[in-house]
Amino acid sequence: MLGSDQFASVFREYQLMYFDPTYTYLVPDVRWFVTTNAPTEIAKELIDGKQSPWLAGSVASAFPDSVSLDVPSVPVSAGGIAQVALSGGVLSAAQLTLDRMQTQLLASLATAGVTDVTMTYDGGPLSAQAVTTASTRIPSQPVVKTTKAFGLLSTSGSVEPLSGISEAVQRLNPSDIQLSADQKTAAVRLMSGEVERVPSQGDPVVLDRRAGLVGPTVDPQGYVWSVPGADPSALVAYGPNRTTVPIASAWAEASRITAMALSRDGTRLAAIVTVGGQSVIEVAGVVRSSEGVPQSLGEPLLIAELPGAGVDLTWLDDSTIGALAHGADGMVALQQIVSGPSSSTATPDDATTIAGSVATAVRVRTADGTLYAQRGSNWEQAGTGIQVLATAQGMP
């Protein structure tokens, strides 16, 4: 056994980086290794190990099963360059495969301070270049709807419209809004309860009229996900071509779902659910067909028990979830690392929605339409008259 104080001085959080099934995004799998040999442990787990069980079927690795780590250590030079010796079927791998292997190693070892990676085989260097992957960055400005406009809120209080989509959203009366990464589509829940797809061109499309729907979420393939709060297993994804896809194995143990959000890479779905009377945060891998159609959720991973009833949640970055919940002394905002620790801060008691910014910065909106931004343990007013604090799945 190891006490929490001692653990923090011996172990550290690192990220094994996998690809989404389309090899568009890098997806982190958080692990904890002893700091003294972290590069070796990272490389060994990435090359010879497997992704965490709850992610099985949701992410991909470029490393073929025939390739393994050749020596039991990964030396790192004074300049931060790691030497990764490989064995097995390396020479039969296509150049694109080698480039993707290089990408995974470079991104994973960067969390241990490595600046570059040289893959070798039989003592000689392998030619490989990191591939370009899509960014999951989001706007640094809040995305809001006021009585006058929908778009990016400036420090002066004005709202900068987003081309096309702002006009379409402004004509509606939404309670929840999530923008797609290209900002050409919005998934919205109206005050009347329906979930709609709002395109930047054309008319809004009503997708779901079931009673008691929670706020929808949208994935990189354009599917809008919707579910009734009282029936978590009735999760449905609505495709861009109006197809309806029931999602199998969704929150089978939960009696209620309060809020949900897809990671910006589309590989993981986080939700506040009620299990056995306890409000918790769970995250599950998204299993898709070879065409990218969502099919089912993997076995959910319990990552946090909330101090009271959950209210809202969002992805702050690729591995951190932000959530609002009732605490013993009022409302709290939690920052929860998937497979890692959490921290919490008291918020204004009437906070209703939460959104992220850059560097896991947190914003909340209160019931009277006031927007607050977190500064350390304090909350600074950042706007008023905010009807909806929206979330964004990326930037064009």
132 in any annotated domain: no
Q: Of 125, 153, 180, which residue sits at a domain end? A: 125
55 occurs within a structural domain: yes
Whether 133 is covered by a domain: the verdict is: no
In a shared domain, residues 175 and 302: yes
Phi and psi torsions of 7, nearest 5°:
-60, -45
Specify whether 153 is located in the same domain as 227.
Answer: yes
Angstrom distance (rounded) from CA 249 to CA 242: 22
| Whether 388 and 280 share a structural domain | yes
| Residue linked to tokens 């994973």 | 108
Domain boundary (77, 98, 125) is at 125
Residue closest to 101 by CA, chosen among 109, 290, 286? 109
Structure confidence by residue, pLDDT tens digits, 228-261: 999 999 999 999 988 999 999 999 999 999 999 9
Residue 318 pLDDT exceeds 80: yes
Give the domain CATH number at 149: 2.130.10.10
Same domain? 80 vs 217? no
Whether the per-residue pLDDT at 360 is higher than 70: the answer is no
**What's the one-letter identity of residue 369?**
G
| Of 113-117, 175-179, 299-303, 376-380, the least confident | 376-380
Residue with tokens 């064995």: 87
Of 183, 184, 174, 186, the closest CA to residue 145 belongs to: 174
**Is the predicted pLDDT of residue 349 greater than 90, yes or no?**
no
Question: 161 lies in a domain?
Answer: yes
The answer as to whether 107 is a domain residue is yes
Say yes or no: 322 and 183 in one domain: yes
Give percent of the chain with pLDDT exceeding 70.
99
Other beta carbons less than 10 A from residue 58's beta carbon: 25
- Evaluate whether residue 138 is within a structural domain: no
Question: Do the bridges between strand 185-190 and strand 301-305 make them parallel or antiparallel, or are there none, so unpaired?
Answer: unpaired
Domain range enclosing 168? 143-392
Q: Are 41 and 34 in contact, with CB atoms under 8 Å apart?
A: yes
**Domain shared by 388 and 362, yes or no:** yes
pLDDT grade for 183, boundaries at 50, 70 and 90: very high
Indicate whether 130 belongs to any domain: no
117 has a pLDDT exceeding 70:
yes
Q: What is the mean pLDDT of residues 382-389?
A: 97
Spatial separation of the C-alpha atoms in residues 361 and 356, rounded to whole Å: 6
Distances (CA, A) of 92 to 89, 131, 286, 294: 6, 19, 31, 32
Residues 120 and 151 in one domain: no
Number of domains making up the chain: 2
- Does position 354 have pLDDT exceeding 70, yes or no? yes
Question: Could you tell me if residue 337 is inside a domain?
Answer: yes
Residues 21 and 50 placed together within one structural domain of the fold: yes
For residues 40 and 177, state if they share a domain: no
Question: Is-contact 157 383, C-beta < 8 A?
Answer: yes
Q: What is the pLDDT of residue 2?
A: 86
The confidence score (pLDDT) of residue 170 equals 95
150 pLDDT band, cuts 50/70/90, is very high
DSSP state of 76: B
Instruction: Kindly state whether residues 211 and 162 are assigned to the same domain.
Output: yes
Q: How high is the mean pLDDT of the chain? A: 96
27 and 85 fall within a common domain: yes
pLDDT digits (tens, 9 = 90+) for 187-234: 999 999 999 999 999 999 999 999 999 999 999 999 999 999 999 999
**Mean predicted confidence (pLDDT) in 268-291:** 97
The type of residue at 1 is M
How many percent of the chain have pLDDT more than 90? 93
Let me know whether 349 and 384 are in one domain: yes
